[in-house]
Amino acid sequence: MYVKDYMSAELITITPQTSVTEAQDLLRKHDINRLPVLKNDKLVGLVTKDLINRNLPSNTTSLSRNEINYLLEKTTAEDIMATKLHSVNPDTLLDHAATIMSENNLGVLVVLENDRLVGVITDKDIFNAFVDISGTREPGTTIVVELDKDREGVIEEIGDALVESANNLTHMIVYYHLENSIRIVISVNTDRVHNLVQAIEKRGYEVKSVTKKTN
């Protein structure tokens, strides 16, 4: 799966001269958290709800409400925007994008194609992608199989068990780097999996759990 499959492409953008007050209004109106800043159609920064909050006068300020509003009108996106942004392209794999976000403690990546802004992808988008990949939104059953070590032909044998039991695989995830085991999570589109469990165990695998998904 690619970044382009989950990124937000319909973006509300601002210019460096946009006031903080106007940026606040746009965030509120469109119920979003981030505004890319464009200058001559080129991305130059990002204004976020958090950045705005950090630049607001503190509650202990002696300024009046009118004075605060005046300052916010005079403060522009250029004054507070983040300019050191991490980017990916639309064809970046989601797992690579997720790794960049995790390693750099990021909540968003801008998506550029030939230096042109085409979208943003957030940690929430990555989370939604993981939910789709795992198949938890779809009805059926999830079966967790564990191996004490990897060996050749595992996927083929699981496939044979599915054919033998006349079950259709909808999703599969393999977890490595677990302590003393490898975990395979398979999803099928039925709750009648007794024959499948038997077929898997007959091939020497341990079925750790069988969970019916309710959607």
Higher-scoring residue by pLDDT: 57, 17: 17
Higher-scoring residue by pLDDT: 52, 35: 35
Which of 58-72, 87-101, 125-139, 144-158 ranks highest by mean pLDDT?
87-101
Domain 137-213 has CATH 3.60.110.10: no
Please write the tens of the pLDDT for every residue from 165-211. Answer: 999 999 998 888 667 788 899 999 998 999 999 999 999 889 999 99
Q: Do domains 3-130 and 137-213 have the same CATH topology?
A: no
Q: What is the pLDDT of residue 149?
A: 78
Say which CATH class 3-130 falls into: alpha beta
Q: Which own/partner contact pairs does 129-138 have at CB distance under 8 Å and 24+ positions apart?
A: 129/1, 129/5, 129/6, 129/94, 132/1, 133/1, 133/171, 133/173, 134/171, 134/173, 134/185, 134/187, 135/170, 135/171, 135/187, 135/213, 136/213, 137/215, 138/170, 138/171, 138/187, 138/189, 138/213, 138/215
Q: What is the pLDDT of residue 60?
A: 45
Residue 125 phi, psi dihedral angles, 5° rounding: -60, -40
Q: For the chain, which residues make up each domain, given as ranges? A: 3-130, 137-213
- When pLDDT is averaged across residues 136-156 and rounded to a whole number, the result is 87
Of 45, 7, 29, nearest to 122 by C-alpha is: 7
Higher-scoring residue by pLDDT: 1, 100: 100
